[in-house]
């Protein structure tokens, strides 16, 4: 690999980069630094694994105290994964980011087709335009059977979370787990407060922060606590 001239401003920076680390070593060193920076943690280990993944994904240790776990979400998620339940995502970024290899540790039947995202479907876009609503809301109505008994990951649209919770409160669907991490400035806090008022197992990042990478990280963090099945 070519190097910059010794007197170049970049030379010192490049010398400080750990070029020889494998992917696994990078992750292990990242987790070591996270734990050194966050200090003593009072969370149970399964919950800490989720929070650590969120911190890693965001590069922000202040998330340590901003994650809500309610109604045994890690245990609920692991059991649902072992049963091979479908997953619903409110963004294609989530759908692309979830590891099929990791899913198959819990149920060998999993494939990318088991992760449903309808926000970009032409009929959803058309329905949204005709009704003057967001695609995130209309996407929920396309296949409610996936929501009922499935794992739902919301990492983009607050109205997707609010609409899902409205369906839960109406008795139309009952997900096994909701990972609630929409991001933004409008309807974000309110949508999170709404899901936290239910008895559905959920994991929420408080406030306006969230995003698709965090939703994926939360699910992968849950998986860390699972035992692989044959």
- How large is the C-alpha radius of gyration of the chain? 19
CB contact set of 202 (below 8 Å; sequence gap of 6+) = 68, 70, 71, 73, 177, 178, 179, 180, 195, 196
How many other CB atoms are found less than 10 A from the CB of residue 214? 26
Judge contact between 68 and 202, C-beta under 8 A. Answer: yes
Judge contact between 184 and 174, C-beta under 8 A. Answer: no
Nearest to 156 by CA among 121, 180, 176: 180
Region at 75 (left for phi over 0; alpha for psi -120 to 50; beta for the rest): alpha
In a 10 Å sphere around its CB, with 0-12 CB exposed, 13-18 middle and 19+ buried, how is residue 173 labelled? buried
One of 56, 116, 202, 220 is an active-site residue; which one? Answer: 56
Q: Judge whether 56 counts as a catalytic residue.
A: yes
How far apart CA 93 and CA 215 sit, in angstroms, is 10
By three-state DSSP, how is residue 203 classified?
A: strand
Catalytic positions: 56
């Amino acid at each position: 690999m070519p190097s910059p001239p010794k007197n170049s401003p970049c030379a010192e920076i490049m010398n400080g980069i750990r070029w020889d680390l494998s992917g696994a070593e990078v992750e292990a060193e990242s987790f070591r630094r996270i734990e050194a920076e966050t200090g003593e943690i009072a969370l149970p280990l399964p919950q800490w694994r989720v929070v650590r993944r969120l911190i890693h994904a965001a590069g922000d240790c202040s998330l340590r105290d901003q994650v809500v776990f309610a109604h045994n979400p890690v245990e609920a998620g692991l059991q649902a994964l072992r049963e091979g339940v479908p997953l619903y995502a409110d963004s294609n970024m989530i759908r692309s980011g979830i590891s099929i290899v990791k899913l198959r540790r819990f149920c060998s039947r999993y494939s990318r087709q088991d992760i449903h995202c309808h926000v970009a479907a032409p009929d959803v876009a058309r329905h949204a335009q005709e009704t003057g609503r967001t695609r995130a809301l209309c996407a929920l109505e396309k296949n409610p059977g996936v929501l009922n008994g499935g794992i739902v990951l919301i990492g983009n649209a607050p109205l997707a979370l609010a609409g899902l919770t409205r369906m839960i409160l109406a008795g139309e669907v009952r997900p096994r787990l909701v990972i609630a991490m929409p991001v933004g400035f409008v309807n974000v806090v309110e949508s999170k407060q709404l899901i936290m008022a239910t008895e559905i197992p959920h994991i929420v990042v408080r406030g306006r922060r969230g995003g698709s990478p965090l939703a994926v990280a939360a699910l992968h963090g849950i998986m860390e606590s699972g035992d692989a099945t044959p």
